[in-house]
Structures are given as structure tokens and as C-alpha cells.
Amino acid sequence: MANPSLLILPGDGIGPEVMTEVERVIAWFGEKRGLAFDVSTDLVGGAAYDKHGTPLSDATMAAAQDADAVLLGAVGGPAYDDLDFSLKPERGLLRLRKEMDLFSNLRPAQCFDALADFSSLKKDIVAGLDIMIVRELTSGVYFGEPRGIQDDNEGGRVGVNTQRYTTNEIRRVARSAFELARRRSNKVCSMEKANVMESGILWREEVQWVHDNEYPDVELSHMYADNGAMQLVRAPKQFDVIVTDNLFGDILSDCAAMLTGSLGMLPSASLGAPMENGRPKALYEPVHGSAPDIAGQGKANPCACVLSFAMALRYSFDQGDEAARLEGAVQKVLADGVRTADLMQSGDAEPVSTTDMGDAILAALDDSL
């Protein structure tokens, strides 16, 4: 059987720097665990614009559709700020998400013990935290019609956006959350504003329908999203999987992410419908951007991108044990006090470089054998 295929799109700024370390990790799994991938690399964002005059060429889009999984670094940078909206680096990423129809965005918020002091919350509230926010990514108020700014005929203007969800859109993301919960602690909390929004009532009813008909073994609760925000900062460990719409998910996932400290540690996955081989369409990427302020200096923390590959192992390639091995290696490196500059606190020793962090992760992987 052919090896599974991975399309790597390093992108801009620190993207290529952190991706270099991930490529070493991928090679390690090929050599030491017999998990070989057919890896190809291509351009996205500003790098693609520089070469092709577009942030994502049709050929790269087609390669992404064919790949078993896509791994992306980051896009963007000041050199592209004045480009027309349609040519901006971010449009490349949006095109990937849209054409691959990646409707389920997975954002883990996991607190590594060694970094518990980085949270703005008290250590005992976040230590050991491990929750997953599933955000609907392709519908809702960011896409609903009508939208726009018009004259209101009274001398002023009116801005309009429309929150709109269909049965199918809600059910498919709910299924994705229930599937995840079965691999974790079997608990889903669905968040909306059914008290004030009809789309919220529909959301609640459809999530309940999917539960009752397809996942009765998973524990389901419902919560208003404003209460959800409060509970996330009051007692985040009460949650396992949270499923919510595009707008609330945007806000709640950033809030949950910051419970854990640093942007350099946060991975993500965006999943779509299953392909013919049963694997979901999938794009894995760190939450952070291209960090132009530190690009090219060897200072970037590669952990978020490495942990995104761990998510690929788990969700695209059904290698949960190997994903846990990689996450364990990152955990060990942190516990040993290895820190890139973003993870430093006053009084700490010298920060390590991006490559040093990659070396330490590879050494910890060797120790895991």
C-alpha cells in the first residue's frame, strides 16, 4: 500500500522555520516507527504571491484536495499589507478552508504542567486542563446573507449580518464533536444563545437530535454561550468537548486558548467530510501567525506546529498512540526546563533556539522508545 500523503505548506515569516522542525519529526516517525509519509511541499500566502502572483495557485489547491492531510505553517507579513484584498496572504488560507469545506475546527486547550504559571488564572484552576473546542467554521453570521452596510433612509446607515444555520450544517459539526468525545471523556457541552436567538433554538434542538438518535452513549449538556464564557474562566476543567457556532466559537476558543499561556504552544485542526478512503479532509496548523517581529532570528517556538502534526497523527492517520508519544515528548522537554524565548519568565536561564527545541523533542522521542 502507498504511504499516506502529506502536503506541507510552510507559508511566510516563522512558518518555514517551525515547519523545518516538524519535517524532522515526520522523518523520525518514518525511520523509528515505520510510519512513512509521502511528503510534498508547496507555497501558500505571501510566498505563493511572490512566485505566482496569487496567494494559492490552482495547482496547489488541487494538490491539497488530493492529499490525505495538509500541514500549514503561517501566512502573512508587512510586505503584503498594501495588496488588494483578493491577493492578501490570508486569502490563500481562506480558499483552502472553503474549497475543502472544512466545517469543523478543533482547538484544544491543554495546560502543560510545566507552563501552568503562564496562565493568567490560578495554577490549580488550569493545571491538568485538557479540553477541546469544536467551532463550526463555514457558516453562521460570518457568511449569512443578507449582509452589508446601507443607508437607512433616515440620514444614517445600517450594518447588517445574518446568523443562519441549517439542519445539515448543525448536525455535521455536532457529529464531529460526539465522535471526538468518544475518543476522550465522552462528554459534550453545546453552547448557543437559545434564550434570545431562533438560530440558537434550532442549534440546541438539532444537537439534541443527533445525540438522541446517534450518540446516546455520550453525555450531552447545553449552556448559553455567555455563561459558557464565565464557566471557562471560573472552572474550565468541568468541560471535555465544547461544540459551538462560528461566532461564539471564535471568541470562546481564543478565551480557552489563553487559559494555557503561550501562543507558541497552540495547535489546531480543521476537518471536513470523509474522503473515499475514509479519512476526513483535513488541514492542521498552529494557531499563531507568521510573527514578523521574530521571523528569521531562530527564536520561534516550533511546539504549536509540532503539536499540529500530532493532531494529524490522531485524527487523519488513526495513530493515537504515536500522537500521545509526540505530545509526551513535548511535555518532557518542557518539564526539563527547555524554553524558547516566548516561554521564558524572569529568572529563567537562557532561551533555546527553534532548532535546539527541535533537537530536544527528537531526543525525547528517542527516549520514549
Q: Give the binding site for ligand NAD (CB under 6 A).
A: 14, 18, 74-77, 90, 93, 263-264, 285, 288-294, 300-301, 304, 342
Cβ proximity to ligand NAD: between 214 and 356 the closer is 356
Amino acid code (one letter) for 222: H
CB of 77 to ligand NAD, least distance (A): 5
Half-sphere exposure for 322 (CA within 13 Å, toward CB):
22
Of 130, 254, 356, 359, the catalytic one is: 254
Q: How far is the CB of 244 from ligand NAD (least distance, A)?
A: 20
Q: Provide the minimum distance between the beta carbon of 51 and ligand NAD in the complex, in angstroms, as a whole number.
A: 18
Least CB distance to ligand NAD at residue 315 (A): 18
The answer to whether the CB of 217 falls within 8 A of the CB of 233 is: no
Of the candidates 250, 299, 315, 332, the residue annotated as catalytic is: 250
Is 250 known to be catalytic? yes
CA-closest candidate to residue 26, choices 16, 14, 15, 38: 38
Question: Taking the complex as a whole, how short is the minimal distance between the CB of residue 321 and ligand NAD, in angstroms?
Answer: 26
C-beta closer to ligand NAD: residue 30 or 298: 298
Nearer to ligand NAD, 174 or 294 (CB): 294
Catalytic residue selected from 101, 142, 224, 356: 142
**Burial grade of 256 (CB within 10 A; 0-12, 13-18, 19 or more):** buried
Q: Which of 193, 281, 299, 332 is catalytic?
A: 193
Judged by beta carbon, residue 263 or residue 363, the one nearer ligand NAD is: 263
Contact assessment for residue 105 and residue 270, using Cβ atoms and an 8 Å cutoff? yes
Is the Cβ of residue 74 or residue 194 nearer to ligand NAD in the bound state?
Answer: 74
Closer Cβ to ligand NAD, 246 or 301, answer by number:
301
Annotation says 254 is catalytic: yes
Residue 22, CA distances (Å) to 40, 45, 87, 354, 360 in order: 13, 19, 28, 11, 13
Q: Does the annotation count 130 as an active-site position?
A: no
Is residue 342 annotated as part of the catalytic site, yes or no? no
Active-site residue 193, yes or no? yes
Give the CA radius of gyration of the chain: 21
**From the centroid of its chain, how far is CA 48?**
22
User: For 64, which DSSP code?
Assistant: H
Find out whether 97 and 137 touch, Cβ atoms under 8 Å: yes
Distance CA(354)–CA(340), nearest Å, equals 7
User: What are the helix (H) ranges across the chain?
Assistant: 15-33, 46-52, 58-66, 89-99, 123-126, 167-183, 198-214, 225-234, 246-258, 303-315, 320-335, 354-367
Of residues 38, 50, 212, 226, which has the active-site annotation? 226
Q: What is the nearest approach in angstroms of ligand NAD to the Cβ of residue 180?
A: 22
Q: What amino acid positions are annotated as catalytic residues? A: 142, 193, 226, 250, 254
